[in-house]
Amino acid sequence: MAMQGDSFGPFPTDGNSRTPVLLRVESALDYPNALARVAQYILENPKRAVRQTLGELSAASQSGQATIFRLCRELGFKGFTDFKLALAAEIGQRETEPDRGVSLTVNSFDEIVSLIHRSVLNTRQLAKPEEISYTARQLLNARHVNIYGSGDSGLAGEVLFHRLRRVGVPVRVFANVGYAHEVAEAMTGEDAAIAVSQSGASPDTVEFLRRARHIGAFSLAITCHPKSSLAKVSDVVLQMARMPQPGLSEQMIGMPRIVFIAEALAIAIGDHAKSSESISSAK
């Protein structure tokens, strides 16, 4: 255990590190729990975090103000204000120069293909066949399957919804957090809930799955971080590979990872359905 004053990060505390802010924040996911929880929230909600006061960020990330200040120091900033200014500048630069450094050449196309290939291949390597099979059986037997993801993760939820519906799963997807939480409260042990969050730190998504699991519904977390807050309130975690740069996770280039998971579940559900039909026919 680190003693007070120990530093976990490799970043100089004079604020002069050239490492992108969000990349520094992602490195903090391997810090102790309290620091990692703040980092997860910021990665999930960078634009919101920039606008929040220290107190508001503390409440939203469910972490103490001293923890947030320490994280800023660990990441190489003088304090919370210094960190917010740097993060705001990075976000602003990305928004005003969305195609910075990318040209429509064969090499740039090849790089996109390489990134997509690696993200799907790495996700495949993280997938455990027995967990896919078990999850598929739970979804197939569920009375209702309810999906929720906030922000960009909501798009991933839509992908899951359309694929599962095509294989006969009684599935619903929610974009409104209020509706999602109401549905979670109304679930029973015969239902299933799927929560999608790349960081696993979105408070609304964590609360959705926590409510579902508390009632007894099968609870599936799909995230890049198997030790996240979301993972802790789930029955099964299906892990997506992290993208090499945090900003890429917010773009469509990261979507093939959830397409792979959706297809893997669909195949396993089809296999279970055929097996059940064969058993029924033999009786």
pLDDT score, position 208? 98
* Tokens (6 digits) for 119: 């993200």
pLDDT score, position 151? 82
3-state secondary structure of 127: coil
Beta strands across the sheet bearing 218-223: 171-174, 145-149, 192-196, 218-223, 236-239
Closest CA to 87 of 31, 130, 41: 41
Report the residue count for the chain. Answer: 283
**Beta strand pairing call for 192-196 and 218-223:** parallel
Cβ neighbours of residue 11 closer than 8 Å, sequence gap 6 or more = 17, 19, 24, 74, 75, 76
Cβ neighbours of residue 23 closer than 8 Å, sequence gap 6 or more = 245, 246
**What's the DSSP call for residue 79?**
S
Domains defined for the chain, CATH in brackets:
21-96 (1.10.10.10), 128-282 (3.40.50.10490)
pLDDT score, position 1? 36
pLDDT score, position 160? 98
Kindly give the confidence (pLDDT) of every residue in the chain, 283 residues in length, as a single tens digit, with 9 standing for 90 and above: 333 345 555 555 545 456 788 878 877 877 877 898 899 889 878 899 999 999 999 999 989 999 999 999 999 999 999 999 999 998 888 766 544 444 434 357 888 888 889 889 989 999 999 999 999 999 999 999 999 998 889 999 999 999 999 999 999 999 999 999 999 999 999 999 999 998 887 889 999 999 999 999 999 999 988 878 899 999 999 999 887 655 555 567 789 999 999 999 999 999 998 877 665 555 5
| Residue appearing with tokens 């976000």 | 91
pLDDT score, position 8? 56
Report the DSSP beta bridge partners of residue 208: none
- Classify residue 274 as exposed, middle or buried by CB count within 10 Å of its CB (0-12, 13-18, 19+): exposed
3-state secondary structure of 136: helix
